[in-house]
Structure 1
């Protein structure tokens, strides 16, 4: 493990450096924001992205983060943040970034540890993880599994890296990652769709568009905050706000009927999990 710069403090102090993030798109960029907020030292950070967004380029300039350096160097921590379909094309260029002690952390949906080692023969210690977009504000939910070569220090470093962006669930069975991806990895999109559909329903009921959108957004955000703050289960909270024979009960009767929201979500999660399996290999 390489030395940690003295300027690195807080929960990321154990992170092997430099940290090299390959791919700073929506998810990679969101994680980067969370890591910087959690204490990651900009001078210990390198971004590799052939087409960085203007926002990422500006962030690198403002914070002194190295962007696409001409000479690769073995990373302490190499984070793979590009689209999973790009692994085959990216693999040849990743070799120089991988040293004997490099910890590889992948957020590539559907790419197994075996996939990664097959395409990155220099990689030994590999953590496969699946974060979600709220990691950008420190409220992410990430699942992770480690290869046998990951030692205790490297696992602690990976945990610090992932936990700086929210909660981390370590799995013993890599086969569960696809199911986790389908629930928490993609889950924010389901919630955003709920807010979108609720606003559209409000407009259809006669509310002005701006008001319907603001009400839907505030309602979803407030319900999520209550769910986070209240120890009661989601099912119990639902029951507690539903008076028998009332207006909420009438609406839930539609949402919870056969073929309704619970069935649709089960179907959606299964489609997601199946697609993750197709991306493997």
Structure 2
């Protein structure tokens, strides 16, 4: 068992993402007795207590003493009030726990100011997880402030790897690109799966059969790509395509319709909206 799995971790919030993270932590070996959460949603916390054996409270401050990490798992619109509630505790704490935010579009500068902490001294990680965390296959981007110590960074890595992969970015501004890629990406993939399934129906398949084939095809291709990470994606693609065969004809259509350029434009739009929501860019024109 990793020494990190003895660390005390408190989650403020018990919504879908916080719940997915807690389930991942327990399933990966973190001790339920070292995990806790707080939320006014009693039904959500009771479900986690019954399922995972963790501790829970409606009081955000109850389990903070001796915490090694505090995960801010609330919606961005209430994050400021939660931080202001935590500020007196952090000001008087004997030791500084690492603070981890999963709130999209909220900068470390804003969080530090709401916590009334010097941003150069507060160990703070801003993260961008995504919804496949709910099935243990998340992809998270992480940014650490300069005050994060190596052991705190290692703990954060292990927390996020409990429900998928975790990668670090060197500049906080890169989280906008992470948002556009892995944060919003599941919706792009769902759109492609829907396109495959709908096209299969138009070619004569039953809807349920077509959807199952579409889901399994995308999941299998993604898994094959992941286990063949050292190989170029184009090389994997060529292995499916025989000269003059069916796949080659289908890929030619996707290329002629500029699928890659369309995906890039979708990501640019998502990135620009992320900048706008963070107050770092203009509003996008609405069609």
**TM-score over 0.5 for the pair:** yes
Structure number with the bigger relative contact order (C-alpha 8 A, sep ≥ 6) is: 1
Given that residues 38 and 57 in structure 2 are in contact (C-alpha distance below 8 angstroms), is that contact kept between their aligned partners in structure 1?
Answer: yes
C-alpha separation between the residues in 2 aligned to 1:261 and 1:86? 38
Correspondence for 1:140 among 138, 141, 149: 138
| Aligned match of 2:276 | 278
CA RMSD of aligned residues (A): 2.3
Correspondence for 1:45 among 26, 35, 39: 35
**CA separation of 1:191/1:158 partners in 2, compared to 1, >3 Å: closer, same or farther?**
same
Report the Cα offset of residue 78 of structure 1. 0.8
**CA separation of 1:153/1:14 partners in 2, compared to 1, >3 Å: closer, same or farther?**
farther
Report the Cα offset of residue 103 of structure 1. 0.6
Given that residues 139 and 167 in structure 1 are in contact (C-alpha distance below 8 angstroms), is that contact kept between their aligned partners in structure 2?
Answer: yes
**CA separation of 1:261/1:97 partners in 2, compared to 1, >3 Å: closer, same or farther?**
farther
| Aligned match of 1:86 | 78
Question: Could you tell me the TM-score, scaled by structure 2's length?
Answer: 0.84
Q: Alignment partner of 1:109: what SS?
A: coil
C-alpha separation between the residues in 1 aligned to 2:32 and 2:101? 20
C-alpha separation between the residues in 2 aligned to 1:197 and 1:52? 40
Counting only pairs closer than 5 Å after superposition, residues 115-264 of structure 1 correspond to structure 2 as: 115-122=110-117, 124-230=122-228, 231-258=230-257, 260-264=258-262
Report the Cα offset of residue 122 of structure 1. 4.2
Q: Alignment partner of 2:256: what SS?
A: coil
Unaligned runs of 5+ in 1: 1-8
Question: Could you tell me the TM-score, scaled by structure 1's length?
Answer: 0.86
C-alpha separation between the residues in 2 aligned to 1:31 and 1:145? 18
C-alpha separation between the residues in 2 aligned to 1:11 and 1:135? 23
Aligned residues: 269
Given that residues 70 and 98 in structure 2 are in contact (C-alpha distance below 8 angstroms), is that contact kept between their aligned partners in structure 1?
Answer: yes
Given that residues 12 and 164 in structure 1 are in contact (C-alpha distance below 8 angstroms), is that contact kept between their aligned partners in structure 2?
Answer: no
